[in-house]
Amino acid sequence: MESDINKLFDSLPKYPNYMVMHFCDNSNLINKIECFAKDAREYFIFSFDKDIVDNLKDYKKDKTIIKYINPKRPRYHSPTKSYDYLFITSLPEDRNEFFKKIYNALKNGASLFIFLDSDKKTLSYTIESELIENNYVAINIFGVDNSLVISAKKMHGWGS
C-alpha cells in the first residue's frame, strides 16, 4: 500500500530542470524528497544547525548538496538560482523573516510544503496567517501520514 506522502510526491509535476530546496533539522524525509528529486537539476538541503549538516553528510550525492545556512543571512539563495519546490521540515524562530527570504528564492508559481507534527494544529493556523501576510497564496492544510502539511504557492506579481 502506497503511503500518502508518496502519493503527494507523485502528484507534483516535474518540470524540465526543476530545482528543489529543503530546510531540515533531521533526515526524516530526505530519502523520500531525494527520490522525488531524482530527475531534478539540483536538490539543495539547508540546515540552520552546523551539527545537523555534519550528521547529514552521508546524504550528499551528485545532485544533492547539503549546506549550513545562517538564519541571519540577508538571503537564502544565489541570485542566479530559483527553486520550483521548497520543502520545510525545520523552521527558524523568526518565521516571518524566513518567509520573506525564501519568497525571493522561489520561482513564480513555485510550491512550498511545510511539514509539522500532527499535534501542531494551532501552529499550522498561525503559520497559515504568516504565509498570507508574506504574499503566499493557495494555502492548504492537510494530513499526510503522521504529519500536518501546509502547502502554499508564490504567485507572479504578488508582493516583493
Write down the domain spans for the chain. 4-154
User: pLDDT tens digits for 17-41?
Assistant: 999 999 999 888 999 999 999 999 9
Measured between alpha carbons, how far is 32 from 27 in angstroms, rounded to an integer? 10
What is the pTM for the complete model shown?
Answer: 0.91
User: pLDDT tens digits for 140-157?
Assistant: 999 998 899 999 999 866
Long-range pairs, 2-8, Cβ under 8 A, ≥24: 3/145, 4/143, 4/144, 4/145, 5/29, 5/32, 5/144, 5/145, 5/147, 6/32, 8/113, 8/144, 8/149
Decide if pLDDT at 78 tops 80.
no
Q: Is 104 or 21 the better-scoring residue by pLDDT?
A: 21
Q: Please state which CATH class domain 4-154 belongs to.
A: alpha beta
User: Which of the four pLDDT bands, split at 50, 70 and 90, describes residue 1?
Assistant: very low
